[in-house]
Structure 1
Amino acid sequence: MNPIDELRAARPAHLGDRPVDERTRAAELSHAMSQPRQLRRRRKIVRPVWGLGLAGAAAAATAVVVVMAGNGAVPTPRAPDGVPATAGSTAAPKVKLSARDVLLAAAENADRQAETTGDYWHTTTVTRSLMSVAKGGYRLMMQDRSEMWTPSATGGEQWSRSQSLGARPVTEEDRQAWEAAGSPAEVEIRVPGKGGLRMPIAPGKVRTSHSPLVDGDKVFWLGRNVTMKDLRGLPSDPDELKKWLLRSYKGHDTESSSVPMGSDAWLFRVSTGLITDMPVTPQVRGAAFRMLAELDTVKVAENVTDAEGRQGAAVSTEERVKGGAVLENRLIFDESTGQALANENVVVKPGGLQAGFEPGTVWHSTAVLETGWTDDKP
C-alpha cells in the first residue's frame, strides 16, 4: 500500500473517500491520522476523491496560474515584490481592514461575474503540508496536485486525477539535516500517538479514477450531503442562506460529533468551502460573503500572498483543534472578483501535528488553480 492510500485507509468512517471541502483538509488530516484504520469500511459523507493533501514540493509550481470563473478566465492577481509566501513561511499580512467593508465589496464583485453551466464542474488544486520527520528532527514540505470533474446530471460519474509532486526540506537547515541523514529517498513522518508513516521524496505517478455519485446524485458536503440541484437552488439572500446552512448544525464540528464547535466557527468553515470550490451561482457566492460580513468573530487582512505568489485579501477565524493547537483558518480571495485563491491553516498556538511550528507558520495550504464548468472529462 502506498503512503497516500495508507492515509486514506486511516480516515474515520464519517469522512468516506469522496469530495472534501478545501477549508477542512487540515483539520481533517489531524483527525484522520489519529483514528483506527478499520473504520474505513463504512461510507456516509461525500468528500473529494483526492482526500488528504500530503505530498509534494513547493518548488514544482512555476507556471502562471489562471483562476476560471463562469465562462472566462480571471487574471491572477499581481504578486508583490519579494518572495511569495508558502506553507512554512511566517510572513504576516501587512494591513488589517474592516471585515464588513471588504467582504461586502467582495460580494458586490462576485455578483457581477458571468454565469454558465456545462456537463462537469471542474476544479484543480495544489495542496501543501508541513510534516516533521520522525528521525533527524527536520521538516519537509509535501505537495500534491488534484483535479476533480463532478457531473451536473443525476446518475453520472465523478472523475478525479491526482499526483504526488514529491517533497523537499523547508529551510536550509532542514536540507542540511536531510543530507546528513544520507538524503533518504523515503522518510518516516511523525504521527503523534501513532508512530510513523513512510513517505517517498520523489514525485509519484498520475492516477485517474472514476466512480458513481453517492446515492446517484450526491455531489458535495455542505453541512450534509447535497445534490447539484440543492447547490444550484441555494438562496441568494444572506439571511436565508444562513438559515439553510444552520439547519445542519448540531453543535459540533464538521469532522467529529465529540468536538464542540460554535455556530459562527461552523458556519465559517462550511461557507468558505461553498465560496471556494462549489458550483453555486455568482449571486449565492455573493450572499456567502455578505453572511460572513455579519459574523463578529471574523477578521480581514489585505496584502496576503498565497503559496502560488498571488496576492489578495484574507478573511479568517480561529479554531482549536485536536492536540491543543489553535489554528487560524483563512480564505484568501481576489477582491476584484470574489474568486477564492486559497485556503490556509496558520499556526496560532502549536500542539499535536503542529507541535514545534512557530506561531505564524502556514502549516497547510490549498491553492485553487481552476474552477469552472466544462463539457470535457478526463
Structure 2
Amino acid sequence: MKKTDVMKSLAATRPASLKPADDPERLDRIIAAATARPSTEVGGTDAPERVPARRRRLLSPGRSLLGLAAAAAAVAVIVPATSSDRTISVAPRPSTSVSVTGEPTARQILLAAAVAVEKAPASGDYWRTATVDRWMLTDPTRSYVLEGGRSKEVWLAKRPDLRSWRVWQDLGVKPATPQDEAAWRDAGAPTSWRYPKDMRTENLFSVPSKPLETAAGERTGEQLHWKMVGELAGKPLTWEEASAIPSDPEPLRTYLEERIGKLDLTGSGMDVEEAKAHILLRNCVDIISTLPASPETRASAYRILASLPGIRAEGEMTDPLGRRGETLAYQEEIEPGVFAQVQLVVDPGAGQLLAEVRTNTTKLENGRRAELRLSTSFQAIGWTDERPELPVKKD
C-alpha cells in the first residue's frame, strides 16, 4: 500500500466556509427520528457493539470521498492524492449515549439518518450522483493559495437500453482569500498556472498535470461503457454484485469484513486491524454516498457508523453550498503523529450526506501559515427516472 505525502500541520478549527446555525428544536426532532423504530441495529441498545479490542484503540478512514473517485480520476485535472489503498487512523473520541448539553450526539444523528434514508426511492432508471468538489492549492511559487472547483454528475443506467454518462465542468480558479488576492496581484495577476512535475504540494492533492485556468471550462459529457458501478475494499463492483450487498446491519458488516479480510494490508506502516477498521468506515460512507445500493443497505451503513467510536458531533452547521446540516467530525492520522481534520455534514431528516470537508495547513514561501481545504458537496444521491441533460455538441 502507498503512503500519501506527509501533511506538515493541520487546522484545529472548523473550515471558514462552515457557519454555525441555531435551531433549539433540532435535538427533539433528531431523537424522535432515531427512535422511530426498535434499536436493534449494530451497536443499538438491543445489540452489543461489535468492535474488537484492538479496534477500539484507533479507527482508520480510508480514501477521500470524492464521489466515484475512480471514474473522476480519468478526467480530473487535479487528482486527489488519497486513494483506496491508503491507510489512515482516527484517534478515538467516542460519542456518549446521552447528550448532557442538549446537543444531539453523533449516534443519534446517524440513527436518525438511517431511519430517513429507508424512505428514499428504491429503484429507477438511473443511479445518479451530483457533486461539487472544491479544493485549495498553493500557486507554483508557494506565494499564495488558490481555490478551484469542479461540478460533476454521474448517471449509471440500470436499464440495458439506456446509456451511462459522466458530465463535468471545471469551475475556474481564483485566489482563496483577500490576502491571497493581494499576493496574486503583486505577482502580476496571472490567469493560468503550470506546475513542475516534481513539486511537492504538501496538501490533499497531487501536482496538477495540466495548467490551471481562472476561466471556467466548458460543460463536458462522456459516455461510460464499463459495467462497473463502483468499488468496495479496493475491488470493483458490477450491477449484480452491488444489488447483492446485504441490506441488514449484521450481515452487511460481516460481508464488508470478509471482503476486507481478503486484502493484503501489510506494508502500510500501520497496524493491520487499524487498516481494516479504516476500510470498514470508508466503505460505509461509500455505500451511503456513492454506490447504487438499496435504501435498506444505505440505512444499515449508517447504523454501522453509529456503532463505531471516534466520530463526534460538532453541532449544526452550513455546508460549503450553504445548506444546514449536523456536523460529525473525526481526525485522520496520515502518518504517525500527523493528523488532518475531517467533517461530515449530514441532513438527518433526509438521510443525506451533504458534504465532506478535509482541512490542513501549509507554510508559504513568506512564512505565512495558510489553511487548505478539500470538500465534496453532494447535490443529489439516489435513484431517479429523470434523464441526464447532456452538453450540446458543437460543430
Q: Is 1:101 the counterpart of 2:112 in the alignment? A: no
1:337 shift after superposition: 1.5
Kept after mapping to 2: 8 A contact 1:53/1:143: no
Kept after mapping to 2: 8 A contact 1:253/1:259: no
Q: Is 1:363 the counterpart of 2:370 in the alignment? A: no
1:101 is paired with a residue of what secondary structure?
Answer: helix
Kept after mapping to 2: 8 A contact 1:330/1:343: yes
CA distance, structure 2, for counterparts of residue 319 and residue 364 of structure 1:
14
Kept after mapping to 2: 8 A contact 1:128/1:141: yes
Instruction: Report what 1:152 is aligned to.
Output: 158
Q: Is 1:293 the counterpart of 2:306 in the alignment? A: yes
Kept after mapping to 1: 8 A contact 2:110/2:303: yes
1:300 is paired with a residue of what secondary structure?
Answer: strand
Kept after mapping to 2: 8 A contact 1:265/1:317: no
1:278 shift after superposition: 2.3
CA distance, structure 1, for counterparts of residue 104 and residue 144 of structure 2:
36
Q: Output one character per residue of 1:111-155: Cα deviation in whole Å (capped at 9) or x when no partner.
A: 2x2324222212211100000012261001110111111121469
Kept after mapping to 1: 8 A contact 2:122/2:295: no
Instruction: Report what 1:24 is aligned to.
Output: 63
Instruction: Report what 1:70 is aligned to.
Output: none
2:351 to 338, 362, 366: 338
Q: Output one character per residue of 1:78-105: Cα deviation in whole Å (capped at 9) or x when no partner.
A: xxxxxxxxxxxxxxxx996422222122
Kept after mapping to 2: 8 A contact 1:219/1:228: yes
* Residues 300, 221 of structure 1: alpha-carbon distance in 2 compared, 3 angstrom cutoff: same
**Aligned 1:201-350 pairs, distance under 5 A:** 201-213=214-226, 217-223=227-233, 224-250=235-261, 258=268, 260=270, 261-321=274-334, 325-347=338-360
Kept after mapping to 1: 8 A contact 2:318/2:324: yes
CA distance, structure 1, for counterparts of residue 77 and residue 341 of structure 2:
19
* Residues 180, 370 of structure 1: alpha-carbon distance in 2 compared, 3 angstrom cutoff: same
CA distance, structure 2, for counterparts of residue 137 and residue 95 of structure 1:
44
**Aligned 1:10-49 pairs, distance under 5 A:** 24-25=63-64, 47-49=70-72
Kept after mapping to 2: 8 A contact 1:120/1:375: yes
- Cα RMSD of the aligned pairs, angstroms, is 3.6
CA distance, structure 1, for counterparts of residue 159 and residue 380 of structure 2:
21
Q: Output one character per residue of 1:51-76: Cα deviation in whole Å (capped at 9) or x when no partner.
A: 57667xxxxxxxxxxxxxxxxxxxxx
Q: Output one character per residue of 1:22-53: Cα deviation in whole Å (capped at 9) or x when no partner.
A: x834799xxxxxxxxxxxxxxxx982235576
* Residues 49, 262 of structure 1: alpha-carbon distance in 2 compared, 3 angstrom cutoff: closer
1:324 shift after superposition: 7.1
Percent sequence identity is: 25
Instruction: Report what 1:163 is aligned to.
Output: 169
CA distance, structure 1, for counterparts of residue 312 and residue 264 of structure 2:
20
Q: Output one character per residue of 1:182-210: Cα deviation in whole Å (capped at 9) or x when no partner.
A: 11011245741898753222111222111
CA distance, structure 2, for counterparts of residue 364 and residue 289 of structure 1:
23
CA distance, structure 2, for counterparts of residue 46 and residue 203 of structure 1:
21
Instruction: Report what 2:117 is aligned to.
Output: 110
Q: Specify the code of the residue in structure 1 equivalent to 2:170.
A: S
Kept after mapping to 1: 8 A contact 2:135/2:148: yes
CA distance, structure 2, for counterparts of residue 203 and residue 322 of structure 1:
35
* Residues 189, 363 of structure 1: alpha-carbon distance in 2 compared, 3 angstrom cutoff: farther
Whose RCO is larger (CA < 8 A, sep 6+)?
Answer: 2
1:123 to 129, 135, 138: 129
Normalization by structure 2: what TM-score?
0.64
CA distance, structure 2, for counterparts of residue 196 and residue 164 of structure 1:
13
Instruction: Report what 1:74 is aligned to.
Output: none
Q: Is 1:186 the counterpart of 2:192 in the alignment? A: yes
Q: Output one character per residue of 1:226-275: Cα deviation in whole Å (capped at 9) or x when no partner.
A: 12233233222212111111222259899x97464533222111211211
* Residues 285, 257 of structure 1: alpha-carbon distance in 2 compared, 3 angstrom cutoff: farther
- Specify the structure having the higher radius of gyration (Cα): 2
* Residues 310, 54 of structure 1: alpha-carbon distance in 2 compared, 3 angstrom cutoff: farther
